[in-house]
């Protein structure tokens, strides 16, 4: 596969294990327009890659993914029609991630928020550094968590826990995330690489077809759920992108102050 065209994602190989790393470390891997486009394509390219059987998703630098880039959010406020393309890409991200037949391990090396949390939780296994935090604070910036969070969180931890965190936008520690069953495992930061590598090596040495087809079978209900309801979630997010509260949240973030929401 030709991965050279990617500007914001870095690739490396260890035998038949492919590591996909978000590569905007100075921005804490916050998603801008270019990275969002690349995320909408990368899992399809990885699926077609003939030289890998196991995939690791991580972030370069101290963070996994800090959600949406504020300048990119501002461009959607100024030009809301651009969000139509973003919505289409968001659908491609979620669906292609769920459709990926190869086992996908998230190496949660740091904080994962918003879309970053969805990217992590749509992986098959999430191994996190004990220093990481995870959460979906879409509501904190006046947006609906329609790009994955509203659907995947309840499936993992149930509606009671999911609603608490989705409606408050609160982040939690990796230790708490493991306690409630949101993620798979937590290890000290110094042991993260070794833990993920050991897991990937165990899987790559296993019965490839049996492992791959088991993943496909497990994901069938999730795929059905997303295909049935994702369009409604992303439509609500598009509506919230046009709201006064979202515009206020973006402005407040740029001015380094708390937003004053009015319900508009």
Tokens encoding 112: 């994962």
pLDDT of residue 126: 98
pLDDT in tens, 175-202: 999 999 999 999 999 999 999 999 999 9
Q: Does residue 15 fall inside a structural domain?
A: yes
Contact yes or no for 104/55 (Cβ under 8 A): yes
pLDDT in tens, 246-260: 999 999 999 999 999
Say whether 87 sits in a helix, a strand or coil. Answer: helix
Domains: count for the chain: 1
Residue 197, in any domain of the structure: no
Of 129, 155, 133, whose CA–CA distance to 230 is shortest? 155
Measured distance CA(115)–CA(22) in Å, rounded = 13
Do the domain assignments include residue 198? no
Q: Which residues of the chain have pLDDT under 70?
A: none
Residue 114 domain flag: yes
pLDDT recorded at residue 130: 97
pLDDT of residue 1: 72
Domain limits for position 211: 1-190+205-264
199 within a domain of the structure (yes/no): no
Please report the pLDDT score of residue 2 as a whole number.
80
| CATH number of domain containing 154 | 3.90.226.10
Which pLDDT score is estimated for 237? Answer: 96
Residue 198: predicted pLDDT: 98
Residue 72 domain flag: yes
């Amino acid at each position: 596969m030709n991965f050279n065209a990617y500007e914001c994602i870095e690739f490396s190989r260890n035998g038949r294990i492919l590591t996909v790393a978000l590569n905007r470390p100075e921005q804490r891997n916050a998603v801008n327009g270019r990275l969002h486009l690349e995320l909408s394509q990368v899992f399809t390219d990885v699926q077609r890659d003939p030289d890998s059987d196991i995939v690791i998703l991580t972030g370069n630098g101290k963070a996994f993914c800090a959600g949406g880039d504020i300048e990119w959010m501002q461009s959607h406020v100024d030009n809301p029609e651009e969000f139509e393309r973003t919505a289409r890409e968001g659908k491609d991200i979620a669906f292609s991630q769920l459709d990926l037949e190869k086992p996908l391990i998230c190496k949660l090396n740091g904080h994962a928020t918003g879309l970053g949390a969805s990217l992590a939780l749509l992986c098959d296994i999430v191994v996190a550094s004990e220093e990481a935090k995870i959460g979906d604070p879409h509501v904190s910036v006046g947006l609906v968590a329609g790009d994955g969070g509203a659907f995947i969180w309840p499936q993992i931890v149930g509606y009671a826990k999911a609603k608490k965190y989705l409606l408050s936008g609160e982040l939690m520690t990796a230790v708490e995330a493991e306690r409630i069953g949101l993620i798979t495992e937590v290890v000290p930061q110094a042991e993260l690489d070794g833990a993920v590598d050991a897991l990937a090596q165990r899987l790559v040495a296993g019965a490839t077809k049996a492992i791959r087809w088991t993943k496909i079978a497990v994901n069938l209900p999730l795929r059905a759920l997303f295909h049935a309801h994702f369009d409604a979630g992303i439509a609500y997010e598009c509506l919230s992108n046009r709201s006064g509260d979202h515009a206020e949240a973006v402005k407040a973030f740029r001015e380094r102050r708390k937003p004053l929401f009015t319900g508009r």
